[in-house]
Amino acid sequence: MDDFKPIPVIGKDGARGTLVDTVAAGSNTTHALVQFETGQRVLVPTEALSLQADGSYYYLALRQNELVDGRSVGAQHSDDPLVLPVIAEQLLVQKHTRITGRVRVHKTVSEREEVIDEPLLRRTVQVEHVPINRVVDGEIPVRYEGDTMIIPVLEEVLVVEKRLMLKEEIHITQHHEEFHQPQHVVLRNEDIAVERLAPPGQLAPERGQDV
């Protein structure tokens, strides 16, 4: 504020005024005399005034009611005492999200071949015709002898009297055979490779380099 000149002032609450003079309050402290449109005049520290980039006005980082303690300082009473505001700094803490690193995940599918050798069961049937040619008195049910199922085959024959004759028996024997039939089955599994990427604006680390 060494190059002082009258220039408009706009307060934090929109109050408008004019910077009319600067006052040295001490060896290291300088205040500015601001006169608002209401006629009130106050002394404010120069640290509370900031000149805008286009140089059109000063911004006052205080409200008008923070500068006046109830005693109106009007332009018609220039000899009234001026109000010297006391300014206290406040700490404003904010948090911002920052990208510290990125990763790229690659998934690959590999194949392997395994041999499956499990025992299988095969059932075969042997049919054998056994001649009997014997007269029987009635129906003969199917019967089993071990693994062999015997099915009687009856036929009527003409004799002096009609009787049933067992013509033959069919013997069906089951044979069990255990054998191996290896099969080739393809199985797949997934592997994961992680590639770290640098944050925006930084070079990516080389492969194998610690990050």
pLDDT at 172 over 60: yes
Residue 47 sits in the same domain as residue 126:
no
Note the pLDDT tens digit of each residue in 104-149. Answer: 888 898 888 999 888 989 888 899 999 998 888 888 999 999 989 9
Among residues 22, 45, 67, the one where a domain terminates is 67
Residue 39 sits in the same domain as residue 116:
no
Q: Is 2 domain-assigned?
A: no
Residue 121 sits in the same domain as residue 50:
no
Q: Percentage of the chain with pLDDT > 90?
A: 9
Q: How far apart are CA 197 and CA 98, in angstroms?
A: 15
Note the pLDDT tens digit of each residue in 49-66. Answer: 888 888 788 888 888 777
Q: Is 124 domain-assigned?
A: yes
Distances, alpha carbon 70 to alpha carbons 18, 62, 75, 100, 137, in Å: 21, 16, 16, 53, 139
Number of Cα atoms under 13 Å in the Cβ half of residue 5: 5
Residue 123 sits in the same domain as residue 170:
yes
Residue 112 sits in the same domain as residue 40:
no
Is the Cβ–Cβ distance between 74 and 82 less than 8 Å? no
Is the Cβ–Cβ distance between 19 and 58 less than 8 Å? yes
Residue with tokens 């036929």: 155
Residue 54 sits in the same domain as residue 130:
no
Residue 57 sits in the same domain as residue 130:
no
Residue 61 sits in the same domain as residue 122:
no
Q: Is 162 domain-assigned?
A: yes
Q: Is 136 domain-assigned?
A: yes
CATH of the domain at 29: 2.40.50
Residue 122 sits in the same domain as residue 45:
no
Residue 12 sits in the same domain as residue 59:
yes
Q: How far apart are CA 20 and CA 167, in angstroms?
A: 142
Residue 116 sits in the same domain as residue 185:
yes
Q: Is 205 domain-assigned?
A: no
Give strand pairing partners of 50.
59
pLDDT at 72 over 70: no
pTM of the model: 0.30
Residue 49 sits in the same domain as residue 117:
no
Q: Is 50 domain-assigned?
A: yes
Q: Is 83 domain-assigned?
A: no
Residues ≥6 apart with Cβ < 8 Å to 6: 18, 19, 20
Domain that holds residue 115: 104-196
Note the pLDDT tens digit of each residue in 3-40. Answer: 556 788 888 888 888 888 776 555 455 778 888 888 88
Q: Is 88 domain-assigned?
A: no
Q: How many domains does the chain have?
A: 2
pLDDT for residue 128: 92
> How would you list the strands of the sheet with 119-136, edge to edge?
119-136, 163-180, 148-157, 143-145
